[in-house]
Amino acid sequence: MFLPGAIALWVALFALVASTYFYFRSLRGHAEARAWARQAYGLATTGAVIGSAVLLYLILTHDFRIHYVFSYSDLSLPTHYLISTFWAGQEGSFLLWLLCGMIVGLPLIRYAQHYEDRTLIVYNLAQISLLLILLRQSPFRLLADLPPGQVPSDGQGLNPLLQNPWMTIHPPIMFLGYAATAVPFAFAVAALWERRYDEWTKAAMPWALVTVVTLGCAILLGGYWAYVTLGWGGYWGWDPVENSSLVPWIASVALVHGMLLQRARGRFRKLNFSLAILAYVLVVYATFLTRSGVLADFSVHSFVDLGITGWLVANLAGALLIGFGALAWRWREIPTQPGDEPFLSRTVFFVLAITALLGTAAMVLLGTSAPLITRLATKPSQVAPAFYNTVTLPIGILLASLLGVVPFLHWKGTSKEFAKRLGLAGTLAVVTSAVGIAVGARGALYVVFLLVSLFAFFSNALKTWDEVRAKRFRVAGGYLAHVGLGLMLAGIVTSSAFDRTQKVVLTLNESKQVMGYTLTFKGVDKPTPTAREAMLVEVREGGGRSYVARPRMFRNEKSNQLVSNPDVRMRLTHDVYVSPIEFDPGRSPENGVTVELAKGETQKAGPFEVTFDGFDMSSGHGEAQRLSIGARLTVRHGKNAQQLTPYISSSGTGFSSDPVPLAGPKGAAVAISGVDAGAGRVRIQVSGVGGGVAKRAVLHKGESLTYKGVALKFDNFDLSDFDPQAGKINIGVVFKTTDPSGKGVEVEPVYRGGEAGESHEDAAVPGLPGVMVRVGRMNPNDKTVEVEVLDPSAPGDPGEPMKFAIDVTIKPMIGLLWTGLVVLLAGGILAVVRRGEEFSTAVAARPTSGA
Amino acid sequence: MSRSRMVWTVVGVVAIIGFVAFGAGAFKSNLTPYVSFQQARATSDAVQVAGKLVPGSDNFEEASSRLMFAIQDDHGDVLKIAYKGLKPGNFHEATQVVAIGRFHGGVLEAEKLLVKCPSKYQGVEEKEYGSSSS
């Protein structure tokens, strides 16, 4: 255990227990105990902050003795990803949650007023439950089985899918939202306890809004992340982890509306207590689902069972007991009154909306818990994503309709401009939907959903406009948020239900027509040696505009994982989404001429005359730890002379030779295939000049290949330079043949491979000038080798071109979704500000009160 | 309670019950239990199968733009799978592949793939992939 961090957490635990104790004493009437309780809470917060700082320090200094640091970070991560490894794993994310919770508690103490003692007792218990999990599975534990004195030199690194800027912001916002749900819960239980059933909603409202804004933001950020990075073309997969943050969010939204209802009509107390308690219980349940391993077979996000399942169940039981227990205890005492509002009133519509929201939450929860539920009856199984879409569509239509009607309803009836405004909104919605149908919207339910979403958009937009014109800016927050919501719903249905998709295989430099676009695969681009390769696809659009899409497909060396990124191009009316499916690098043409030159010597290679001018030993070229040798050449073709210097570099594990293109025949290039620095000779291969594989055969030992009268007998392998441990894969193949004078000669082409790439060192065939023999694939099981005879006079092998298979999707109006998100957030923040101000003015007006 | 209130309450309750029934029905019909290969072949419902990837069996069928591969269960039964989405990252290192889909035309047309591989990360890590959802 890394002591400083562990001690900080233990201190936090004891301080929280002390704080809880002192708050109990304060309840009993000991006035000075409250001050102690607050100080203890402050101490606990300090402990959490110090603990977090320690973990961050360990990560930033690469202390790989610590299990957590070893498991999730490594030396190669840039600083911002390094910081985000803090929350990459189970323990760290719990610590982040605790930290958020402790910090959220500070203003809570300030604003809780007479509820303070009881609220903080409950709140402290919630934080203690997190701390107990942290102490059970500590982020500071050391690597097990570490021999004394030995520290791993590098960590395992961060999952490449998480090496993304979104990883730095999405989780912290998410955990802030989780932490904030504990506040209304604490208030609700405190109010039940104290028997003051009314004012708590005012106190808890800003916190509930914080949850709605932060969780909502985090959820949508996650969706955007998936959309632009992962390549499966969606932003929401109904994955259990996604769902388990969606469900508490829906409950929090219902809670906010319920609180508004209670404040306006003085009723619905039981409803709000239930909702506040439910929201927190759902967060705890969600944590249980995703971190206990019960869904391990069914979700990409869920961590494996790490031994905290018992604690998670205990947490859940505790939350249920305290929350619903308090509610049950006071149930009969809570005042209720019947209502008398007509159907067309905000009151009734709010109740309907809350019911619809809870219905959605219940269905999503049902689907997510399917493996648990079915486990009880038969074998565990999950539900197909179609379940969620089937079930949420009708509720979505209902909710969007309610959303559109409500702005012009008063609490007890309709507003004056009800008919006019809704008529206008409805007309606008019908017109825009008709436009939508004209450009491709289809499917009855989807069109209806589009219609009501647009109706909600226009209706709330009109209301926002009315409020802004009357200078009631702060009221406008809620309506503005719903404007955003309407846009988002419309964007969701247009981009998913009305999208068009097509898969296509593109061959290098050949254009294909796909859904109105002309696509051409231009090759692979690797701008710097360490950059990830991007495939270049030129997209020419209808109006003559064109751009180059750069989807990527690469292998992460550490985890050997194939990662792909899509290219998303945003246009006003749609997104063009190009996602890689498969990449075939093809086979380069097997046509080349090899010549061996001494310094100053000139020889003919195909249509070129090549002169070797000398070596270039300046090892400034190439990356670190690579030894490079260049050969300065003068290449003449007709009247042109070119001076160039191809390089061959070795890095101890093999070597690679980079071809340099030649002016003249298309595709011609020259590369070094061998160097004898001692003798001052270099072997040059000129490729792309015609001539190719004249004969190919697979030989067993002792078998012969005859070409133009010369027989080559495969005699043996030469493994003198073969050391896989050192990364040297050099396999020579010895052939026995006879030279023109009848003498027995051995020729030995060599295959050189290794991490730096592979190359062939071909051997000249005696008696046939220019003809080389090359060895290809070797099969150690059958003890065969593939032999190729390269003859410059043979027809060239064109090789096989590069191919790139992609999935092209047009997503209409998805911009509405992201725009709607921004508007939603703006409206939400405006609403938080308004409710926060309201509460603090109410607080200032209230005389200070005791317990 | 007034008369109209009662009527509305009844309507509401009926609507809720109706929706719950609808949801339960959708739930059942979308359940994808783990089944054996035999059972998968016998039904047109969506099912979930698991098996070891047969090495070398994977290839990209250009004509239909699908990834084709085969998995083998503990009894040696082999099932062919066709998948329209992106080839999962750790596909070749997978110790187990789980596919969710319907059996049709001699292959299981998978909507979702789950790839389990021995991982350097804690325990066994699973990767799940789906083709573009609705």
A16-22 own/partner pairs: CB under 8 Å, 24+ apart? A16/A40, A16/A41, A16/A44, A16/A124, A16/A127, A16/A128, A16/A131, A17/A128, A19/A44, A19/A120, A19/A124, A20/A120, A20/A121, A20/A124, A20/A125, A20/A128
> Residue A96: its pLDDT value, please?
95
Question: Quick one: A538 and A597 in the same domain?
Answer: no
Question: Quick one: A9 and A146 in the same domain?
Answer: yes
Q: Is A434 part of any domain?
A: no
Q: Is A672 part of any domain?
A: yes
Handedness of CA A303, A306, A307, A308 (dihedral sign): negative
Residue in chain A nearest B118 by alpha carbon = A559
> Residue B46: its pLDDT value, please?
80
Is B31 in contact with A382 (Cβ distance < 8 A)? yes
CA distance B10 to chain A (A): 14
Is A304 in contact with B91 (Cβ distance < 8 A)? no
Q: What is the C-alpha to C-alpha distance for residues A245 and A412, in angstroms, rounded to an integer?
A: 34
Residue in chain B nearest A68 by alpha carbon = B122
CA diameter of chain A: 117
Q: What is the C-alpha to C-alpha distance for residues A823 and A850, in angstroms, rounded to an integer?
A: 42
> Residue A7: its pLDDT value, please?
92
CA distance B77 to chain A (A): 21
Mean pLDDT per 10-residue segment, chain B (134 residues): 78 90 87 84 84 82 81 88 76 79 88 67 38 33
Question: Quick one: A28 and A51 in the same domain?
Answer: yes
Q: Encoding tokens for residue A210? A: 């914080």
Residue B85 neighbours by CB under 8 Å, 6+ apart: A232, B67, B113, B129, B130, B131, B132
Question: Quick one: A127 and A219 in the same domain?
Answer: no
Of A305, A560, A582, the CB nearest to B93: A560
Which residues in chain A are contacts of B26 at CB distance < 8 A?
A: 387, 390-391
Q: What is the C-alpha to C-alpha distance for residues A472 and A555, in angstroms, rounded to an integer?
A: 56
Of A232, A501, A582, the CB nearest to B129: A232
Residue A660 neighbours by CB under 8 Å, 6+ apart: A644, A645, A646, A669, A670, A671
> Residue A576: its pLDDT value, please?
86
Q: Encoding tokens for residue A235? A: 């932003």
Q: Does A766 touch chain B (CB under 8 A)?
A: no
Question: Quick one: A133 and A184 in the same domain?
Answer: no
- Where does A61-154 have alpha helices with state H? 67-72, 79-84, 90-111, 116-136
Do A86 and A73 contact (CB within 8 A), yes or no?
no
Residue in chain A nearest B50 by alpha carbon = A297
Which residues in chain A are contacts of B67 at CB distance < 8 A?
A: 581-582
> Residue B67: its pLDDT value, please?
84
Residue A78 neighbours by CB under 8 Å, 6+ apart: none
pLDDT < 50 regions, chain A = 621-622, 652-653, 848-851
Domain end, chosen from A329, A346, A363, is at: A346
Question: Quick one: A148 and A56 in the same domain?
Answer: yes
Q: Is A358 part of any domain?
A: no
Element containing residue A246 per DSSP (H, E): helix A240-265
Q: Does A807 touch chain B (CB under 8 A)?
A: yes
Residue B93 CB: number of other CB atoms within 10 A?
Answer: 16
Do A65 and A151 contact (CB within 8 A), yes or no?
yes
Q: Encoding tokens for residue B118? A: 């021995």
ipTM above 0.85, yes or no: no
Is A231 in contact with B34 (Cβ distance < 8 A)? no
Burial of A690 (0-12, 13-18, 19+ CB in 10 A): middle
Is B131 in contact with A809 (Cβ distance < 8 A)? no
Question: Quick one: A715 and A570 in the same domain?
Answer: no
Domain end, chosen from A313, A346, A379, is at: A346
- Strands B47-53 and B59-61 come out as unpaired
CA distance A587 to chain B (A): 17
Q: What is the C-alpha to C-alpha distance for residues A326 and A320, in angstroms, rounded to an integer?
A: 9
> Residue A161: its pLDDT value, please?
73
Indicate the average pLDDT of chain A: 83
Q: Which residues of A658-683 are buried (b: 16+ CB within 10 A; e: fewer)?
A: bbbebebeebbbbbbbbbeeeeeebb
> Residue B133: its pLDDT value, please?
32
Q: Encoding tokens for residue A30? A: 């000991």
Question: Quick one: A211 and A336 in the same domain?
Answer: yes
Q: Encoding tokens for residue A362? A: 């219940």
- State residue A276 phi and psi, 5-degree precision: -65, -40
The DSSP secondary structure of B31-74, one letter per residue, reads: EEEB--HHHHHH--S-EEEEEEE-TT--EEETTTTEEEEEEE-T
Of B31, B123, B124, the CB nearest to A370: B31
DSSP letter (8 states) at residue A252: H
Question: What pLDDT digit, counting tens, does each position of A615-642 carry?
Answer: 887 655 445 555 677 888 888 877 788 8
Do A495 and A489 contact (CB within 8 A), yes or no?
no
Element containing residue A427 per DSSP (H, E): helix A418-438
Residue A108 neighbours by CB under 8 Å, 6+ apart: A119, A120, A123, A183, A186, A207
Of B93, B123, B128, the CB nearest to A304: B123
Is B121 in contact with A159 (Cβ distance < 8 A)? yes
Do A455 and A811 contact (CB within 8 A), yes or no?
no
Mutation test of the interface with chain B: which of A559, A800, A817, choosing the one with the most B Cβ atoms within 10 A?
A559
> Residue B65: its pLDDT value, please?
73
Q: Is A691 part of any domain?
A: yes
Q: How many domains does chain A have?
A: 4
Q: Encoding tokens for residue A737? A: 């043949």
DSSP 3-state of A563: strand
Question: Quick one: A619 and A532 in the same domain?
Answer: no
* Residue that the structure tokens 């209230």 belong to: A846
Q: What is the C-alpha to C-alpha distance for residues A125 and A312, in angstroms, rounded to an integer?
A: 14
Question: Quick one: A250 and A156 in the same domain?
Answer: no
Q: Is A115 part of any domain?
A: yes
Q: Is A521 part of any domain?
A: yes
Q: Is A253 part of any domain?
A: yes
Q: Does A394 touch chain B (CB under 8 A)?
A: yes
CA distance B40 to chain A (A): 14
Which residues in chain A are contacts of B88 at CB distance < 8 A?
A: 562
Nearest residue to A667 via CA among A728, A618, A607, A603: A607
Which residues in chain A are contacts of B33 at CB distance < 8 A?
A: 374, 378-381
Which 469-508 residues of chain A touch chain B by CB within 8 A? Answer: 496-497, 499, 501, 503-505
Of A72, A374, A805, the CB nearest to B31: A374
Mutation test of the interface with chain B: which of A90, A301, A391, choosing the one with the most B Cβ atoms within 10 A?
A391
Q: Which amino acid is at A266?
A: G
> Residue A311: its pLDDT value, please?
86
Nearest residue to A677 via CA among A610, A731, A609, A631: A631
Q: Does A297 touch chain B (CB under 8 A)?
A: yes
Is B133 in contact with A238 (Cβ distance < 8 A)? yes
Is B133 in contact with A385 (Cβ distance < 8 A)? yes
Q: Which amino acid is at A489?
A: L
Q: Is A387 part of any domain?
A: no
Q: Does A391 touch chain B (CB under 8 A)?
A: yes
Nearest residue to A487 via CA among A461, A447, A453, A439: A453
Question: Quick one: A262 and A339 in the same domain?
Answer: yes
Of A237, A304, A343, the CB nearest to B8: A343
Q: What is the C-alpha to C-alpha distance for residues A25 and A21, in angstroms, rounded to an integer?
A: 6
Q: What is the C-alpha to C-alpha distance for residues A519 and A805, in angstroms, rounded to an integer?
A: 12
Domain that holds residue A211: 174-346
Which residues in chain B are contacts of A300 at CB distance < 8 A?
A: 114, 126-128
Question: Quick one: A614 and A726 in the same domain?
Answer: yes
SS3 content of chain B, % helix, strand, coil (to 5): 30, 40, 30
